[in-house]
Structure 1
Amino acid sequence: MAVRRSFAFTCTVLVVLWLLVAIACVQIPPHTFWPAAFGALTLPIALGLNLAFVFYWLLRNWRLAVLPLLVAVLTWPHFQRGLALHPWRTVEATSTPDNQVQVLSANVRIFNVYPQLRDPDLASSRNMVQWLAESSADIICLQEFYNEPRNMRSRDGNVFRTVEQIGRKAGRHAFVSKSLTNSAGAEFGIAIFSRYPILHRGTISFGKLTQNHAMFADLRLPGGDTIRVYNFHLQSMSMEEKDIVQSYSSKSGFEQKSRGLLRRFKRGMIARSVQIDTLVRRFERCRYPILLCADLNDLPYSYSYDQLADHFQNAWATVGTGVGSTYNGRLPFIRIDNQFASSRWTIEECQVHREIPYSDHFPTTAIYDLKARSKGD
């Protein structure tokens, strides 16, 4: 019995050490030491095992449960990143219309304009645009945006005149940051739509070798406050879902696909770490309350997410329940689409719209209340 207990406690200590190393790996920029990013991906396993040892020792010897229990308490914010739990949360209705903001964020996959994405009668494209246009959201941030201007001839009618439908016709101001305009005049990029006046706007480049970039807009709320909204799309994994599935479905698939997938994963992690460092420097200079909407192309246990979580509240981790997966595909439990808010915001609600299946990403909405400015601000 003593030998078994000693072995179990040794395993507990090793898991605690593993957990601490994994947390340290999350904070290391992949562009300075890329192997750390793979160590960071083991963090949810270490968190789960540590929690299992808490229950094990509570049943066996409560005194020995102190170590994993203390570690679980200290690392609870990291646990919440992947599995949000708020059993005792209560919502106080203290907001007023002048300081409450509803934000919608979605990667719309260029509204399925490409032939391989289309369905009969462009049903998914029409439904997606209509849902966005009719949304009650005050601010809409879209990634992988697509628009056909009025002066562009189109055999698809008005389906892809998305700026007009989501913007002017829906009573919203529009700001489109274009990464590409093709030979026919169609626009690709990211976009912000707002029911509030846009006072100032801008684009943040990630360099000439990528079309991924960021944009921001300063908005004037009815109560007179100015806020800044950032919308960005970080570097893609450049990995096909079918290749990932094949890599773990069989031994031959693993041998054929794994090396290529790892190389692309490594390149993506390095690029995203450089991009997020560029953005964080910009965030730190902003004097307004900030809201962020993003397709991070990264998991909650990554350097990119960690840098944002160090500066902002994540909407889902703060008020959501469960994993909050936003990827609409065969890979489960993937949350790569996120909203964040600076400290002057109270997050009231966050929702993943799994009932909107028109893209490979599910949209998210969140409701924020802007706190009154304190004397020190």
Structure 2
Amino acid sequence: MRRSFAFTCTLLIIGWLLVAIACVQVPAYTFWPAAFGALTLPIALGLNLLAVFYWLLRNWRVAALPLLVAVLTWPHFQRGLAVHPLRIAPLPSAEADSTTGPRVRVLSSNVRIFNVYPQLRDKELASSKKMIQWLADSPAEVLCLQEFYNEPRTSTSKEKNVFNSVERIGEQSGRQSFLSKTLTNGAGSEFGMAIFSRYPIVHRGTVSFGKLTQNHAMWADLHLPTGDTIRVFNFHLQSMSMDEQDIVDSYSSKSGLKKKGLGLMRRFKRGMIARSWQMDTLIRRFEASPYPLLLCADLNDLPYSYSYDQLADRFQNAWASVGNGVGSTYNGRLPFVRIDNQFAGPQWQVDDFWVHYEIPYSDHFPTLATYRLIRKAKVDK
């Protein structure tokens, strides 16, 4: 009787797992409840692994079923918890050799407008100065920055010597710059996103998500010293529009759940719907690229979401390819949250990927990856 009940539970878990995987592939703008079903996927994956261990102790023949499911769904498991225990990452390098293509180091970071707002500032703008200087000194050839802020020389701000970030991270550090502005205020200060490159930027462009949002995407074609041209996308999807304290309050007590829960659900729903069609817009642009792609993004979405799934089905996630653990990138009270990602097209090999936890100046930790362009083998005639 006990075995029959355990076997029934195992079948239910497998069914739950398959439904959750199907939910991940449904855009929220067509059927929004699927997005909430997708969020249960890590629980189903974990329970299926428990079923494997249970049946290995009880009946190895029955264990074959959840074990097969675990093997087939392993890529989904890797999305949230990367496991590469035997991997030794090579040292970052930008040099090409005779058998491989060029190596490119890419740094991506949501810089939270360099803490320019009064509620974010600290004494003597210490974190702002340190953040800009760290980015300027980065060895990465390509920098993709979200929630960017700049005060050019023409600005009337008294602090433009601190926040002249385009000049300091760009020209003074030997990089070309491409600033995609979504807003310029009355003082001439600029808000948006930016791409910086030590390689020549030969083409550039933006992708709008509509007039009702400042979230958008930008891209730049970079000409490498080896003669190769690559395309780098930098994008920031719709915000979750949820205050961190509200989320903490919602699960800390029953009264908090009743008071905050419904409002959070509504905002989360609106965000998921917006991000799903924003991602569909970008996928069409990615598929039209004539060059190898590297993608940097603040997805504002978890690895078990439609947005992430669309990218993971077509590209290599740098963390899932070479990392170990959760790889959380959110610097706040919510644990194990990875919403900042880098992806690479099939023409690339991911050499290494790091989350810079020692750089705490924003609510996002910077990520740094090294990619190697794969050369097609020449066939001797």
Q: TM-score if structure 1 supplies the norm length?
A: 0.97
Give the C-alpha shift of residue 374 in structure 1.
Answer: 5.7
> Which residue of structure 2 aligns with residue 227 of structure 1?
230
Give the C-alpha shift of residue 30 in structure 1.
Answer: 0.3
Q: Distance in 2 between matches of 1:38 and 1:54?
A: 26
Amino acid at match of 1:81: R
Q: Contact 1:95 / 1:369 at 8 angstroms: preserved in 2?
A: no
Amino acid at match of 1:73: V
Q: Among residues 279, 283, 286, which one is paired with 2:286 in the alignment? A: 283
Q: Among residues 351, 354, 357, which one is paired with 2:357 in the alignment? A: 354
> Which residue of structure 2 aligns with residue 73 of structure 1?
71
Unaligned segments of structure 1, at least 5 residues? none
Cα deviation 1:36-72 (Å, max 9, x = unaligned): 0000000000000000111111111111100100000
Q: Distance in 2 between matches of 1:50 and 1:320?
A: 23
Give the C-alpha shift of residue 92 in structure 1.
Answer: 7.3
Cα deviation 1:115-134 (Å, max 9, x = unaligned): 00000000000000000000
Cα deviation 1:64-114 (Å, max 9, x = unaligned): 100100000000000000000012335679987140000000000000000
Q: Distance in 1 between matches of 2:378 and 2:180?
A: 36
Q: Among residues 161, 176, 189, which one is paired with 1:173 in the alignment? A: 176
> Which residue of structure 2 aligns with residue 46 of structure 1?
44
Check 1:345–1:298 CA distance in 2 against 1; reply closer, same or farther (3 A cut). Answer: same
Amino acid at match of 1:71: V
Give the C-alpha shift of residue 183 in structure 1.
Answer: 1.1
Runs of 4+ in 1 over 3 A off after TM superposition: 88-96, 373-376
Q: Contact 2:93 / 2:105 at 8 angstroms: preserved in 1?
A: no
Unaligned segments of structure 2, at least 5 residues? 97-101
Count of matched residue positions in the alignment of Structure 1 and Structure 2: 374
Matched, 1:330 2:333: yes
> Which residue of structure 2 aligns with residue 87 of structure 1?
85
Q: Contact 1:177 / 1:190 at 8 angstroms: preserved in 2?
A: yes
Give the C-alpha shift of residue 153 in structure 1.
Answer: 2.3
Give the C-alpha shift of residue 156 in structure 1.
Answer: 2.0
Matched, 1:130 2:112: no
Q: Contact 2:51 / 2:66 at 8 angstroms: preserved in 1?
A: yes
Matched, 1:10 2:44: no
> Which residue of structure 1 aligns with residue 186 of structure 2?
183
Cα deviation 1:312-369 (Å, max 9, x = unaligned): 0000000000000000000000000000000000000000011100000000000000
Q: Distance in 2 between matches of 1:92 and 1:123?
A: 33
Q: Among residues 133, 139, 143, which one is paired with 1:140 in the alignment? A: 143
Q: Distance in 2 between matches of 1:258 and 1:327?
A: 21
Q: Distance in 2 between matches of 1:96 and 1:175?
A: 21
- SS of 1:102's partner is strand
Choose 85-94 or 354-363, whichever is displaced more: 85-94
Give the C-alpha shift of residue 23 in structure 1.
Answer: 0.1
> Which residue of structure 2 aligns with residue 340 of structure 1?
343
Q: Contact 2:157 / 2:187 at 8 angstroms: preserved in 1?
A: no
Cα deviation 1:8-48 (Å, max 9, x = unaligned): 11100000000000000000000000000000000000000
Check 1:230–1:87 CA distance in 2 against 1; reply closer, same or farther (3 A cut). Answer: same
Q: Contact 2:151 / 2:160 at 8 angstroms: preserved in 1?
A: no
Q: Contact 1:107 / 1:143 at 8 angstroms: preserved in 2?
A: yes
> Which residue of structure 1 aligns with residue 367 of structure 2?
364
Amino acid at match of 1:335: R
Give the C-alpha shift of residue 287 in structure 1.
Answer: 1.3
Q: Distance in 1 between matches of 2:377 and 2:283?
A: 24
- SS of 1:335's partner is coil
Matches within 5 A, 1:189-200: 189-200=192-203
Q: TM-score if structure 2 supplies the norm length?
A: 0.96
Q: Distance in 2 between matches of 1:247 and 1:178?
A: 35
Matched, 1:106 2:104: no
Q: Distance in 1 between matches of 2:86 and 2:31?
A: 40
- SS of 1:311's partner is coil
Q: Distance in 2 between matches of 1:179 and 1:96?
A: 32
Amino acid at match of 2:11: V
